[in-house]
């Protein structure tokens, strides 16, 4: 149970940080495609009997770079969709070749947060530090190119390089979180909390902090509720994410109408 | 001659009832999805198109739980999700992306709950796989008329709004200036998309649904900029890749390492991706 709290806290911090830029850049599709497609990597790892983390890392990185490469000269959303279906198709192949077991599919999608083992803590923390450091290095160019793409290009920041760097951050966050919380939970966290934060405050620094705070509250409440009511964590995270966004929108609408 | 034919097509391909149903259903779905997909790609709504198929899993698992035919779960959830996306919907493209993301996040939460109940309460251990991946080999003959009816409804909506939709997809401001109710047209289009995605998820699974919606249309739009020609080309690509994929999957029954055939979805997706890459090489030259 302690492990679940530690891992959930790490995951929420990273999701809040990465998700802020996901929402700012309008990359929700990529944030969905990389974790979802990396599922194929896990299936492939099971097929050839290597560590699941390696498969996840390889596929999420390949997926991120593939999206960036395909997206250079086509619409980003089309590139993302094609990269995603290719990975899912490979996943279907790997699953069918392994004569697989279905519980694995469920836990990769929705996670087994309450069953996190001790030896999963170290890789998770390591990847979280790597991801946060990368974001810290990229912070200013990323912010500038997300908000004012023309200005940032005029100042010599390559939009392709920033996009690739950002996608690699998403891939790192994916590799770290999928084995412990599943692909759907990380997506919900990366969208709901930052979207709510952006609706409430405008300044990037404040929104970033608020996004992390909302993500933390979401996972803590979700774990407690899941433990008490014996229902899946993913359910609470998904519903709380959507609720917090609705609350954020309501708050900003109310404030705009007020004096 | 017959030796060559046997090497390409395993014996019994054309006599098998299962194969015939798969060929017919996939043809109907491929044509519908590729034509709608041209609008989806032009409008930049690939994410919505994909999210609707993922949300279909929520509907499927709910229907499983309620004991009704999965079709109704798919249709109900797609229409509800399309409505939710439209009502959150913000005009700018980034806002639309976010609206889709929020609806998808909420849907995933519900799917986690329903699948959990499916396996614990209803005791259906293979529910997850069935709902998530679907299989073209298990289409029941009774599904075909429903698929056709839903497809016809989507085509009817699309035909009715075709011209204003095209105009508002290419330039929303121009359409609004000419008196097109852009918001209404967009909502009707999303409804047609929801119906098409629901039935293609049901018939051929979520992976292929997205693949057929986006892949052929994106490929066709790289070949030609004219929408009508693009629709024709997309339909041809979708139909070709689907049927070739089914043929390869049928042949693969005797391939290593396991002798139960490779999945259809893998073949179709791979073929679509190869087509798309080929057009990119062509353009580069």
pLDDT in tens, B157-174: 888 888 888 888 877 788
- The whole-number pLDDT of residue B166 equals 85
- As given in the structure block, the two tokens for residue B18 are 């299962």
The answer to whether residue A99 sits within a structural domain is: yes
The token pair that represents B200 in the structure block:
């293609």
The residue count of chain A comes to 259
On whether the CB atoms of residues B212 and B26 are closer than 8 A, the answer is no
B151 to chain A, minimum CA–CA distance in Å? 23
Q: How confident is the model at residue B226 (pLDDT cuts 50, 70, 90)?
A: confident
pLDDT band at B1 (very low <50, low <70, confident <90, very high): very low
Residue B141: the pLDDT is 65
Distance (Å) from the alpha carbon of B245 to chain A's nearest alpha carbon: 12
Please answer yes or no on whether A92 and B265 come within 8 Å at the CB atom: yes
Number of structural domains chain A divides into: 1
Interface of A with B in 38-77 (CB under 8 A): 73-75, 77
A198 within domain boundaries: no
Q: Among candidates B45, B42, B26, which has minimal Cα distance to B231?
A: B42
Domain covering B2-284: architecture: Orthogonal Bundle (1.10)
Q: Which of B105, B113, B119 sits opposite A231 (nearest CB)?
A: B113
A 104-133 near B (Cβ less than 8 A): 105-106, 109-110
Q: Is a pLDDT exceeding 80 seen at residue A182? A: no
Residue B93 — pLDDT band, cuts 50, 70, 90?
low
Please judge whether A89 and B210 are an interchain contact, meaning their C-beta atoms are less than 8 angstroms apart: no
Q: Which contacts of B90-99 are long-range, i.e. CB under 8 A and separated by 24 or more positions?
A: B91/B172, B93/A26, B93/B44, B94/A25, B94/A26, B95/A26, B96/B44, B96/B45, B96/B48, B97/A26, B97/A27, B97/A28, B97/A29, B97/A77, B97/B47, B98/A23, B98/A26, B98/A28, B98/A191, B98/A195
| pLDDT of A121 over the 70 cut | yes
**Which of A15-19, A117-121, A237-241 shows the lowest mean pLDDT across its residues?**
A117-121
Asked if residue A213 has pLDDT above 90, the reply is: yes
Would you call A86 an interface residue with chain B, using a CB distance cutoff of 8 Å? yes
Cα dihedral A41, A47, A48, A51 sign: positive
In this structure, of A102-116, A153-167, B162-176, the range with the lowest mean pLDDT score is A102-116
Lowest mean pLDDT among B42-51, B117-126, B163-172: B117-126
Judged against a pLDDT cut of 80, whether residue B185 lies above it is answered with yes
**Is the pLDDT reported for residue A252 higher than 70?**
yes
The 3-class SS string of A17-34 reads HHHHHHHHHCCHHHHHHH
Q: Token pair for residue B105?
A: 């996040």
Nearest to A224 by CA among A215, A237, A214: A237
Give the start-to-end residue ranges of the domains of chain B: 2-284
Instruction: With respect to residue A215, please indicate whether it lies within any of the assigned structural domains.
Output: no
Return the CATH number at A75: 1.10.3470.10
List of chain A residues whose C-beta atoms are within 8 Å of the C-beta of residue B100: 28-29
In a domain, A226, yes or no: no
Q: Which domain holds residue A51?
A: 2-191
Q: What percent of chain B has pLDDT over 70?
A: 79
Does the structure's ipTM exceed the value 0.95? no
Interchain proximity A74–B280, CB inside 8 Å: yes
CA distance A16 to A33: 18
């Amino acid at each position: 149970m302690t492990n679940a709290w530690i891992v959930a806290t790490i995951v929420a911090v990273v999701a809040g940080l990465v998700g802020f830029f996901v929402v700012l850049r309008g990359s929700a599709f990529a944030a969905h495609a990389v974790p979802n497609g990396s599922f194929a990597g896990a299936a492939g790892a099971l097929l050839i009997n290597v560590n699941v983390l390696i498969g996840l890392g390889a596929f999420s990185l390949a997926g991120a770079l593939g999206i960036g490469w395909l997206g250079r000269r086509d619409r980003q959303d089309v590139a993302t969709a094609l990269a995603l279906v290719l990975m899912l198709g490979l996943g279907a192949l790997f699953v069918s070749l392994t004569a697989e077991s279905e519980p694995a599919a469920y836990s990769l999608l929705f996670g087994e947060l309450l069953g996190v083992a001790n030896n999963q803590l170290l890789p998770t923390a390591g990847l979280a530090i790597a991801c946060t450091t990368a974001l810290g290095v990229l912070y200013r160019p990323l912010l500038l190119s997300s908000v004012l793409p023309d200005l940032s290009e005029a100042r010599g920041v390559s939009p392709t390089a920033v996009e690739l760097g950002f996608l690699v951050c998403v891939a790192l966050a994916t590799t770290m979180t999928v084995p412990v919380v599943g692909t759907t939970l990380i997506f919900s966290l990366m969208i709901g909390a930052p979207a709510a934060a952006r609706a409430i405050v405008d300044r990037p620094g404040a929104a970033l902090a608020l996004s992390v705070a909302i993500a933390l509250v979401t996972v803590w409440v979700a774990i407690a509720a899941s433990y008490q009511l014996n229902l899946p964590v993913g359910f609470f995270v998904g519903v709380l994410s959507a609720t917090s966004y609705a609350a954020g929108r309501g708050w900003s609408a109310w404030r705009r109408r007020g004096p | 001659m017959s030796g060559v034919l046997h090497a390409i097509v395993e014996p019994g391909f054309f006599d098998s009832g299962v194969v015939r149903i798969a060929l017919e259903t996939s043809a109907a779905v491929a044509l519908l999805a590729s034509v709608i997909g041209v609008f989806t790609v032009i409008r930049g709504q690939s994410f919505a198109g994909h999210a609707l198929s993922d949300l279909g899993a929520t509907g499927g698992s709910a229907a499983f739980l309620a004991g009704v035919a999965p079709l109704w779960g798919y249709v109900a959830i797609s229409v509800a999700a399309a409505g939710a996306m439209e009502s959150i919907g913000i005009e700018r493209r980034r806002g639309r992306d976010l609206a889709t993301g929020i609806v998808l996040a909420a849907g995933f939460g519900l799917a986690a709950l329903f699948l959990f109940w499916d396996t614990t309460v209803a005791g259906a251990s293979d529910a997850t796989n069935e709902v998530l991946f679907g299989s073209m080999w298990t289409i029941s003959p009774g599904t075909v008329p429903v698929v056709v009816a839903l497809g016809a409804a989507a085509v009817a909506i699309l035909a009715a709004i075709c011209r204003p939709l095209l105009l508002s997809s290419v330039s929303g401001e121009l359409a609004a200036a000419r008196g097109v109710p852009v918001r209404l047209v967009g909502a009707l289009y999303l409804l047609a998309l929801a119906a098409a995605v629901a039935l293609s998820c049901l018939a051929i699974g979520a992976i292929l649904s997205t693949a057929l919606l986006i892949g052929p249309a994106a490929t066709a739009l790289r070949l030609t900029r004219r929408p009508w020609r693009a629709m024709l080309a997309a339909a041809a690509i979708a139909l070709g890749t689907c049927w070739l994929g089914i043929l390869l999957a049928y042949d693969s029954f005797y391939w290593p390492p396991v002798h139960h055939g490779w999945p259809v979805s893998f073949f179709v997706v791979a073929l679509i991706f190869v087509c798309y890459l080929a057009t990119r090489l062509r353009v580069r030259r």
